[in-house]
Amino acid sequence: MKRGVYFVLALIGVLAAIALGGAAVVYGGADDSPGLQGIGALAVIGATAVALRWRGPE
C-alpha cells in the first residue's frame, strides 16, 4: 500500500514538472525569451530523468 502511495505522489510531481516546463517553453517562445525556453527544456529533461531513474522505497 505504501509503495503505491509513493508512486502516485512521484507521478504527480513528475507530471507537474513536465507540464510547467512545457508551459515555460511555449510562453518563452511567444515572448521571444530564450532563457525561459531553456529553463523549461531543462525542467522537462530533468523530470523525465528523475522518472526513469526512480525506484521507489526499498
Judge contact between 56 and 7, C-beta under 8 A. yes
pTM of the complete model: 0.83
Residue 16: alpha-carbon gap to chain centroid: 6
Contacts of 51 (CB under 8 A, 6+ apart): 10, 11, 14
As separate numbers, helices (DSSP H) first and strands (DSSP E) second, the chain gives 2, 0
The three three-digit cell numbers of residue 7, written as one number: 508512486
Could you read off the pLDDT of 3-55 as tens digits, one per residue? 888 889 989 999 999 999 999 999 999 988 889 999 999 999 999 998 888 87
